[in-house]
A and B are shown apart, each in its own frame.
Chain A
Amino acid sequence: MGILEVKNVGKRFGGLQALGDVNLSVAENSVHAIIGPNGAGKSTLLNCLVGKLIPDTGSVSFDGQSVLGRKPYEINQMGISRVFQTPEIFGDLSVLENMMIPCFAKRDGAFELNGISSVSSQKDILERAEHMLEDMNMADKRHMTASSMSRGDKRRLEIGMCLSQEPRLLLLDEPTAGMARADTNNTIDLLKQISDERDITIAIIEHDMHVVFSLAERITVLAQGTPLVEDTPDNIKGHPKVREAYLGETQTAA
């Protein structure tokens, strides 16, 4: 029984069957990649997991509890953090403030009316945020406005913000899309380090085969809204069906 169980999930947009009949089980403390060609339904599946979309059929459960019908903030509070394709951070706030907000969410829950005490008096939050910034090697950037950082740094900050909540499952939606090779490799190293050092499950949607094969322990290949095959990276590489549906294209292209 995995920490994340997706059973018979289907989602239709008008005439388009985006997800057919998806079954997926993500084992605890593993790195699980979901790959597939454009339009395979990867993003739709992810949106069903975090509460942005509600599937038409099937069930999604996290740690034995159904997530269906819950709002994104409730699902986050259950222990699922999401990293977006383009880094979603609080651009107008400082890097330190960006890091403090998830710490508040972890400590105080979804809503806390604390309008009188000053932010600087919240020593435990400050300490935690500073500590997390050091972990991310961003301590020197703490007073920068978040939007003025490079894309790689924004991604690093976003991952740090997610980690500061100590989630049990980290969902990443094409975390290296649009990144230069050096930034991509940095991100791979960071994710490797995270999965080695922490008790955390990582589910990653990715286009870049280099990223997938350097990180994933298991891979699910999605094509036209249904899982084609699920296996270890080595077996996936040689799988004829996968080559035909997906890898064949990239190999000839490369």
Chain B
Amino acid sequence: MFGLTKRDTKLLIIVAILAIFAPFILNPFPEGSAMAQFNGGYPDLMQRLVIFGIFAIGFNILFGLTGYLSFGHAAFLGVGSYAAIWMMKLLTMNVIPAIMISVIVAGLFSLLVGWISLRRSGIYFSILTLAFAQMSYSLAYSVLTPITGGETGLQPKVDDPRILDGALEAGQSPRANLFGLEMGSSYELNLGSWVFTFNAGYYIAAVVMLLAFYLSIRIFRSPFGMMLRAVKSNQQRLNYTGLNSKPYTLAAFVISGMYAGLAGGLLVAMDTQVGAERMFWTASGEVVLMTILGGAGTLIGPVLGAGFIKYMENIISKINKSILEQWFAFMPDGMEDFFITIVYPFIGKGWHLTLGLMFMMVVIFLPGGLVQGGQKIAGLFRGKKASDDAADGKTTPAE
């Protein structure tokens, strides 16, 4: 179906089902219960999960296939965001032109950065991209203040021109919409003590994510994707086989830059404000973590990694000391204090510590990321099944 093999179609359908039912899947606990803080089914987080999924899918086309590790992709996300917000200020609050221009501008910017950075490979390439991203950040923060709003950033104002939209009625504020459907509008479904939120913005972002994912499958399975894997495997052989590796890597760089711009545009569509911190190097590092944590070079890995990190960021950082006290209340006093003292550094602002530990565990024990973990578990089950089938006691190794 859709020009994909059976296996890839299955994967796409699974991702589509997960995306459609995310408001249920992420809200497994009833409202008001002690576990309710682990619920992730609120619009803001769900939007972030799919948007950063797009960012990571695009990053994976560059890093996963060619092995070129860019440390500056947040710059493209930021540039896309600025482009989108200017569309909203000047043209219309409809998100379509904003998202389109964010992809185009990020693509052009990544063409420039890629053209220069790809003169080098390995660590030097990474450093060049990092330098570009940090320059972009500094410029946005200082010299380019008239365009970027500097420290305060940008957001749509009531008196912006917006030539396509009519004048706002008195007392109204500009809201991002898709032909009138506001991004922030939600429908709440109450089922017993469960509350499920269906948000317009989330579903629009999810549709875009599915399209982006579909496109990435096509790229992975295409001759172009095969050439990119050949770049990673042996660039020398590629050059001595009559193929010019430079335009291949540049095309991969620009495509992943456009994905980043798309993510930046969507971020603005969901939450109409931009600040320069979006381009800071930690933001570039985060997408690297997402891709490696999920499984670089796999199709689904980056989506999983992005979801995992964004969920952790939002949920673990919300837990505070009083919640801990609630959890350990059943223990005797001394023991309660002891456990709280131990757990405390890992929650709230300490969520980076938890993330760091998990990242280390994954890299050491599962170099192929969460995807490899899933395969190992699946292999275990299959291995068991196979040995059950073998009545004569022969066991098949589970790889």
Contact = CB atoms under 8 A, between A and B. Distances in A.
B255 to A, nearest CB: 8
A41 B224 CA distance: 38
Contact of A76 (B218, B221, B230, B242): B242
B244 A102 contact: no
Nearest to A167: B242
B115 to A, nearest CB: 15
B377 to A, nearest CB: 23
A59 interface: no
B29 interface: no
B320 interface: no
Contacts of B225: 115, 119
Nearest to B255: A115
A56 interface: no
Contact of A72 (B226, B239, B247, B251): B239
Interface stretch (A13-21, A88-96, A174-182): A88-96
B352 interface: no
A97 B226 contact: yes
Interface string A204-245: 000000000000000000000000000000000000000000
Bin the interface of chain B by size.
20 to 34
Contacts of B226: 93, 97, 100-101, 104, 119
B78 to A, nearest CB: 26
B294 to A, nearest CB: 19
A105 B232 contact: no
A102 B241 contact: yes
Contacts of B376: none
A71 B239 contact: yes
A60 interface: no
A193 interface: no
A144 interface: no
A115 B218 contact: yes
A93 B243 CA distance: 16
B41 to A, nearest CB: 35
Contacts of B244: 71, 73, 110-111
Contact of B233 (A93, A115, A116, A161): A93
Interface in A32-53: 50
Contacts of A84: 240
B243 A110 contact: yes
Given A90-B230, A118-B3, A73 B243 contact: yes
Interface residues of A, number: 39
Given A90-B237, A93-B233, A114 B242 contact: no
Interface string B222-239: 111111011011101111
A66 interface: no
B158 interface: no
Interface string A107-147: 01111111111111010010000000000000000000000
Contacts of B243: 73, 101, 104-105, 110-111
B219 interface: yes
B232 A92 contact: yes
Interface string A59-84: 00000000000011100110001101
A180 B109 CA distance: 53
B344 interface: no
A165 interface: yes
B24 interface: no
B222 A76 contact: no
A72 to B, nearest CB: 5
B221 A104 contact: no
B230 A114 contact: no
B132 interface: no
A169 to B, nearest CB: 13
Which of B5, B230, B236, B255: most chain A CB closer than 10 A?
B230
B38 interface: no
A7 interface: no
B308 interface: no
B248 interface: yes
B242 A102 contact: yes
A129 to B, nearest CB: 12
Given A106-B242, A119-B223, A88 B234 contact: yes
Given A73-B244, A90-B230, A90-B233, A104 B223 contact: yes
9 contacts: A73-B242, A81-B241, A88-B236, A90-B237, A90-B238, A92-B229, A93-B230, A101-B241, A120-B5
Interface of B: 3-5, 218-219, 221-227, 229-230, 232-234, 236-245, 247-248, 251, 255
Given A93-B226, A112-B224, 6 more contacts: A73-B242, A88-B240, A92-B233, A116-B218, A118-B4, A118-B222
8 closest A-B pairs by beta carbon, nearest first, are A76-B242, A115-B224, A105-B242, A90-B233, A110-B244, A92-B233, A88-B237, A111-B247
